Structure 1
Amino acid sequence: MSNSTLQAVTQPDAGATDPLHELLRKGARDLIAKAVEAELSTFLEQYADKTLEDGRRAVVRNGYLPERTVQTGIGDVAVKVPRVRDRSGDGITFSSALLPPYLKRARSIEELIPWLYLKGVSTGDYQEALAALLGDQAKGLSANTVSRLKKQWEDEHADWQKRDLADQRYVYWWADGVYSNVR
Structure 2
Amino acid sequence: MRRQSTAADGQRRATVTDVARRAGVSTATVSRVLNRNYPVAEATRERVETAMRELGYVVNAHARALAGVSNRTVGIIVNEVIDPFYAYIARGVEREAALGGRLCLVCCTQGDPQRELAFIDLMHERRADAVVVVGGSLADRGYTTELARRARELDAGGSKLVLCGRPPLGEQA
TM-score (structure 1 length as normaliser): 0.20
TM-score (structure 2 length as normaliser): 0.21
More helix as a share of residues: 2
- The structure having more radius of gyration, on CA atoms, is 1
